[in-house]
Chain A
Amino acid sequence: MAVGTIHNKDAFINKISSKLGRDRNESVILPKWEHRPQFEVLKGASSDELAAAFKNNSLEKSTYVVETDAKNLASALEKVIEKYGGGQLVASNDQRFTEYGLDELLKQTKAHVWNPVLGEENIAVTKKANIGMFFSDAALAESGTVVQFNDKDIARSISLLPMAYVSIIPKSTIVPRMTQVAQAIHKSVEEGNNLATCINFISGPSNSADIEMNIVIGVHGPVEAVHVIVNDM
């Protein structure tokens, strides 16, 4: 990948240094923060407790929750698809669909599996789709949030364009809050890894309270959301 350009940096930054009354700072050590309340939230919670908190907080965000295990995942998803009216299903291009034995379900439901080779056709199908299905990479108990690390296969459109999103959440990936995910990302950056182009934290259907403070569910993103927790432990 070509390196991008930077314009006017030195004049701009030197002005800041001089306003701050010193020479330009070439190295800064991050202080050890005195206040760290984020680590106290759901501290020491068991995986059952985390799953219960995740469930409650998902419900609070107008999200339908299903709990199942790996063996019954396909049939649980089938019921969800039926409950939400069937129609076109789109799935991310993710190895985990095979690992969890869902290939048959995708075939049966004539799902469109995102395929970069097909180009714009993916968007044309997804914008008319009823359900977008994807695996969550991590989930936050505190807020009923799923996390996607998007790239060209785990496409951004899938959780965004269809009327409903259905996210599959392996129970082992539920952590107390954003803190644990942020820590993992920070560590990965420190190790010199590149980040996914989009790291998306999603908590239920899109909504707005801009008109007289009334919460309206379903604005530009999905109108419905389903979290399917799979016991993989």
Chain B
Amino acid sequence: MAMKIGDKPFFDRVDDALEDNFMRNAMAEAQDGLRGRKLKATVEDEQIGDWEEWRSAGEEIRRHTLENLDYYLNQLSENFARQGGHVYFAETAEDATRYIQDVAKKKNAKKITKAKSMVTEEIGLNQALEEIGCDVYETDLAEYILQIDDHDRPSHIVVPSLHKNKEKIRDTFRDKANYTGTSEPCELTAFARSQLRETFLEADIGVTGCNFAVAESGTISLVTNEGNANMVTTFPKTQITVMGMERLVPTWEELDVMINLLSRSAVGQKITTYVTNLTPQLEEDSIDAPNEFHLVILDAGRSNALGTEFQSALHCIRCAACVNVCPVYRHIGGHAYGSIYQGPIGAVLSPILGGYEEYGELPYASSLCAACTEACPVKIPLHEHLIKHRENYVEKKGMTAEKMAMKTFGIGASSPALFKLAVKGMPAVLGPLVKDDSISSGPGPMKLWTSVREFPAPGKGNFRKWFDDHKKGRNQ
């Protein structure tokens, strides 16, 4: 499955990540930067009033939309088709890629440009198109960097190349694309511009993801900064947009609220440079617009959450605010999650989409400090979902809660810094619970195993030994 990154077991990936100091520093810096920008554009921006009100508005819109998803998807598809667009409802990733391959074959397409494409990453679209002989060009700067670096995998849902610094990028450009410039971001970016310029104009098909679809008008909304999504949707004569089935809003009025929440939470902007809203009003004589527009609406496991305690996970608008505050992500980085969706939302969503067999251990990549829940612009109770996943997983595996607790604690204790975050970094949550060097009760990080027995609070040194001892226990 294309959602998956790497074949190693989760705990081994964590070990690898913890040894990668460069990656960890990069993650920490990026997190601080992104979080700072978000705060400036949300709670600290007086112009927009009370940020909590915005979050509540987002929550009620998302809840209503998901509760009536059948109605709004019907409305969206009817409105899209009424104006000449084609809609394909895809139950699985394979259904979606097969349909897109068919369109590409019919169009005899050779060059395909892509933008805003996390969902197409999820369904493994590039590979499917390459199999039928198409050349696929990623055009988001971060995705472009990953693609030319031998299809490296994303480590962050908003900035997928976050794990690479400018020197690494320069070396990749030099080795793979004959770049001769410096590591200055301006120069690197200008190189990407020059490389892709003609490709944009020559492409036969443009493929995009979708930030939001508007049911009342059959409109696809893309929230971007680089101008590439406009290029991808302006010049090819055929456009294909792939959307997760939950990514819609009833009307333009709700779109407005969601765009504000997304722009500010994801990149700390009042609005992104481009908010491009595309409706298939196809004019035959239009020179710079597609005359064929396909919308692929994807389930691929999303419906597993409907009608369950996990339904609100589908409220997610992929802003990564939860990722940017997660102390565990900070230490293990994006690749350790083994999924294209990382951080707290990745740990919640991946088991829903891909099952517990593959992703059941991911919910343990959390200290349950609830920073994610607090950061989420649509108020998804992420840490509660993580706890519920753990309960389900333990039940499914027939493991004792205690044994799973050891696993969890293993992650937390595998580095002194991470351990501190997991245990002592949240005095407000845990402080009062640590008495006489043992953790006796309480919610938050310790809930799962303190409900089983008293757990020794970690001593001041030698965490590694503590971890090793318990790791042995884990493997028994």
A60 CB to nearest chain B CB (Å): 8
Contact B67 A203 (CB under 8 A): no
- A9-47 vs B, CB cutoff 8 Å, 1 = contact: the mask equals 101111111011100111110110111111011100000
Contact A40 B49 (CB under 8 A): yes
- B36-71 vs A, CB cutoff 8 Å, 1 = contact: the mask equals 000000000001111001101100110010011111
Decide if A185 is an interface residue (CB 8 Å cutoff).
yes
Known contacts A35-B56, A203-B273: does B256 contact A211 (CB below 8 Å)?
no
- A73-100 vs B, CB cutoff 8 Å, 1 = contact: the mask equals 0000000000000000000000000000
A20 CB to nearest chain B CB (Å): 5
- Residues of chain B within 8 A of A19, CB atoms compared: 303, 306-307
Complex CA distance for A140 and B48, rounded to whole angstroms: 13
Residue of B nearest to A16 (CB): B70
Complex CA distance for A41 and B193, rounded to whole angstroms: 37
Contact B83 A152 (CB under 8 A): no
Contact A182 B285 (CB under 8 A): no
- B264-286 vs A, CB cutoff 8 Å, 1 = contact: the mask equals 00010111111111111111011
- Residues of chain B within 8 A of A181, CB atoms compared: 256
Known contacts A210-B161, A222-B227: does B287 contact A123 (CB below 8 Å)?
yes
Complex CA distance for A152 and B282, rounded to whole angstroms: 10
Contact A204 B185 (CB under 8 A): no
Residue of B nearest to A15 (CB): B303
- B70-101 vs A, CB cutoff 8 Å, 1 = contact: the mask equals 11111001101111111111110001000100
Contact B273 A205 (CB under 8 A): yes
Complex CA distance for A233 and B15, rounded to whole angstroms: 66
- B184-218 vs A, CB cutoff 8 Å, 1 = contact: the mask equals 01101110110011001100000000000000110
Complex CA distance for A14 and B69, rounded to whole angstroms: 11
Contact B47 A142 (CB under 8 A): yes
B244 CB to nearest chain A CB (Å): 13
Known contacts A156-B288, A220-B200: does B87 contact A4 (CB below 8 Å)?
yes
Known contacts A4-B84, A195-B279: does B71 contact A37 (CB below 8 Å)?
no
- Residues of chain A within 8 A of B278, CB atoms compared: 197-198
Which one of A64-72, A103-111, A143-151, A166-174 is at the interface? A143-151
Known contacts A8-B88, A182-B256: does B303 contact A219 (CB below 8 Å)?
no
Complex CA distance for A220 and B196, rounded to whole angstroms: 8
Decide if B145 is an interface residue (CB 8 Å cutoff).
yes
Decide if B441 is an interface residue (CB 8 Å cutoff).
no
Contact A6 B303 (CB under 8 A): no
- Residues of chain B within 8 A of A206, CB atoms compared: 225-227, 273-274
- Residues of chain B within 8 A of A189, CB atoms compared: 216-217, 251-252
Known contacts A4-B86, A200-B277, A210-B141: does B50 contact A37 (CB below 8 Å)?
yes
Number of B residues near A (Cβ < 8 Å) is 109
Residue of A nearest to B251 (CB): A186
Known contacts A12-B89, A156-B289, A197-B286: does B82 contact A211 (CB below 8 Å)?
no
Complex CA distance for A27 and B72, rounded to whole angstroms: 9
Complex CA distance for A142 and B193, rounded to whole angstroms: 30
Residue of A nearest to B188 (CB): A211
Contact B225 A207 (CB under 8 A): yes
Contact B274 A13 (CB under 8 A): no
A112 CB to nearest chain B CB (Å): 13
Complex CA distance for A5 and B82, rounded to whole angstroms: 9
Complex CA distance for A122 and B285, rounded to whole angstroms: 13
Which one of B27-35, B353-361, B405-413, B449-457 is at the interface? B27-35
Number of A residues near B (Cβ < 8 Å) is 91
Complex CA distance for A182 and B186, rounded to whole angstroms: 35
Contact A155 B288 (CB under 8 A): yes
**CB-contact partner of B84 in A1, A15, A33, A119, under 8 A:** A1
- Residues of chain B within 8 A of A15, CB atoms compared: 299, 303
Decide if B418 is an interface residue (CB 8 Å cutoff).
no
Contact A198 B289 (CB under 8 A): yes
Decide if A178 is an interface residue (CB 8 Å cutoff).
yes
Decide if B105 is an interface residue (CB 8 Å cutoff).
no
**CB-contact partner of A9 in B50, B77, B197, B286, under 8 A:** B77
Contact A140 B287 (CB under 8 A): no
Decide if B230 is an interface residue (CB 8 Å cutoff).
yes
Complex CA distance for A26 and B78, rounded to whole angstroms: 13
- Residues of chain A within 8 A of B227, CB atoms compared: 160, 206, 219-222
Known contacts A152-B283, A200-B274: does B288 contact A122 (CB below 8 Å)?
yes
B358 CB to nearest chain A CB (Å): 21
Contact B86 A219 (CB under 8 A): no
Contact A13 B73 (CB under 8 A): yes
Decide if B219 is an interface residue (CB 8 Å cutoff).
yes
Decide if B5 is an interface residue (CB 8 Å cutoff).
no
Complex CA distance for A27 and B235, rounded to whole angstroms: 38
Complex CA distance for A40 and B245, rounded to whole angstroms: 32
Contact A186 B216 (CB under 8 A): yes
Known contacts A20-B67, A38-B260, A160-B231: does B47 contact A198 (CB below 8 Å)?
no
B34 CB to nearest chain A CB (Å): 7
**CB-contact partner of B287 in A13, A26, A119, under 8 A:** A119
A89 CB to nearest chain B CB (Å): 17
Instruction: Output the residue of A13, A57, A155 with the most chain B CB within 10 A.
Output: A13
Contact B228 A219 (CB under 8 A): yes
B452 CB to nearest chain A CB (Å): 34
Please name 11 further chain A to chain B contacts, defined as beta carbons within 8 Å, in addition to the given A3-B81, A156-B289, A179-B256, sorted by A numbering: A12-B91, A13-B89, A30-B251, A35-B60, A37-B57, A194-B279, A194-B281, A195-B281, A206-B225, A206-B227, A211-B145
Residues of A at the B interface (CB closer than 8 Å) are 1-9, 11-17, 19-21, 24-28, 30-31, 33-38, 40-42, 57, 61, 116, 119-120, 122-123, 127, 140, 142-143, 145, 150-152, 155-157, 160, 177-179, 181-183, 185-186, 189-190, 194-214, 216, 218-222
Question: What are 16 A-B interface contacts by the 8 Å CB criterion?
Answer: A8-B95, A9-B77, A30-B250, A151-B281, A182-B255, A185-B252, A186-B251, A198-B279, A200-B275, A206-B226, A206-B273, A207-B225, A211-B145, A220-B226, A221-B227, A221-B274
Closest CB pairs A-B (n = 9):
A221-B227, A206-B227, A12-B89, A35-B57, A19-B306, A182-B256, A220-B227, A37-B53, A201-B275
